[in-house]
Amino acid sequence: MLRCNKMVVGILIGYLVLSFTLPIRRVMWRDTSSFGEDTLLSLLFTYHVWLSVMVLLFVLVFDMFPRPRRWVDSAVRVEFVNIISIVVLLSFLALTFLGIPGVWWTWLTLGIHVATVTLVANLLYRIIGLMRSVLLGASIAALSAGAWEILYHIAYRYFIDAAWDIDASHLYGQIRFILPLVIGGLASLVYYIIVHKLRLSMSRLTAFFLLLTCLSWALWLALGFWCDIVYDWSEGVWKYSEANYVQMAIYRSSKVWLALTVIGLFAQGGAVDENPS
C-alpha cells in the first residue's frame, strides 16, 4: 500500500484537472524577432529537448556515487519539494491569468510537468528515496511530453499541413528534434526497471486513465483536430484558430491523461528492493 500525503496528491491532481478546464487560450509571443539564433529564448527552445538526457546522466551519476544522493535524501524532506512545487504552480496560474506569454509553451503545460514530478516524488519517495523519485518523475514527464508531441505533430501534418501541400520532410525534422526528449526519458525508466527492479502494474485506475487518453485523442481527431494556433504558410506567421473551448479542453486533457497513465504504471507497482540506499 502506497503511503503519501493525500492532501498534496489531491492538490496536484486538482491542478492537472484545472489545467484543461480553464477557458484561457495560449498567449503568443508578440515579438518573434526575439527568437534570433543567439538569444537566450532561442537557446532554451533548441536545447530543452536534451533535458531528459541530463536527467539520465544524473540517474547514472547518483547511482555510481551514492553519497551525494543519500545526503540529499537525508537533508531534504518531501514537504520542502511540495512547498516549492505549489509555489511554482501558483506562479504559473498567476502568469496565465495575467496573460504573460510563456515563450512557446503555455504556463499550464509547464505546470503539468511540475505536478507530474511532484506526484511521483510523493508516491514513491518512501520506496526508492526522494532523489530517485524526483528523477523518475522527471523521466516520466519527459517521456509523456515527448510522446504526446510526436503524436501531435503527426496529426498536425495530416490534418493541417496537408492542406498547404507541405513536404513530409518537415514532419520528419520535427520528430528528429523531439526524439532526444523521448529517448532520454525512456532510457531512464528502463534503467529503473532493470537495475532497481521497479515493477510496472496496470491497476484499474491506470487502465481508466489509459482509456481516457485514447478517448480524448479519438474525440480530438474525430472533431477535426482543433489547435489553438496554426501556422499560415502563405504569410509565415502563427495565427489563432477560431475559439472552441470544448475542443480545447479535450486536447489539453489528452496531455494530463497520458501523464497520469504513465505515473500509474510505475506508482502502483512499487519495487522489489525497497531499500532506497
Predicted TM-score of the model (pTM): 0.90
- Predicted confidence (pLDDT) per residue in 31-51, tens digit: 444 444 556 666 777 888 999
Here the cell at position 237 is 506567421
User: How high is the pLDDT of residue 1?
Assistant: 45
User: How high is the pLDDT of residue 103?
Assistant: 65
- Predicted confidence (pLDDT) per residue in 63-121, tens digit: 998 888 889 888 889 999 999 999 999 999 999 999 888 766 789 999 999 999 999 99
Bridge partners, 74 (sequence order)? none
In angstroms, the CA 171 to CA 152 distance is 11
In this prediction, residue 247 has a pLDDT band, given cuts at 50, 70 and 90, of: very high
User: How high is the pLDDT of residue 269?
Assistant: 52
User: How high is the pLDDT of residue 190?
Assistant: 95
CB 55 within 8 A of CB 188: yes
CB 165 within 8 A of CB 95: no
Phi-psi region of 99 (alpha: psi -120 to 50; beta: other; left: phi over 0): left
User: Alpha-carbon Rg of the chain, whole angstroms?
Assistant: 19
User: How high is the pLDDT of residue 272?
Assistant: 45
CB 108 within 8 A of CB 252: yes
* Side chain identity at residue 206, one-letter code: T
User: How high is the pLDDT of residue 43?
Assistant: 74
Q: CB neighbours of 200 closer than 8 A, spacing ≥ 6?
A: 193, 265, 266, 269
* Sole residue written with cell 528502463: 190
* Sole residue written with cell 551514492: 66
The pLDDT mean for the chain works out to 87
In angstroms, the CA 2 to CA 126 distance is 9
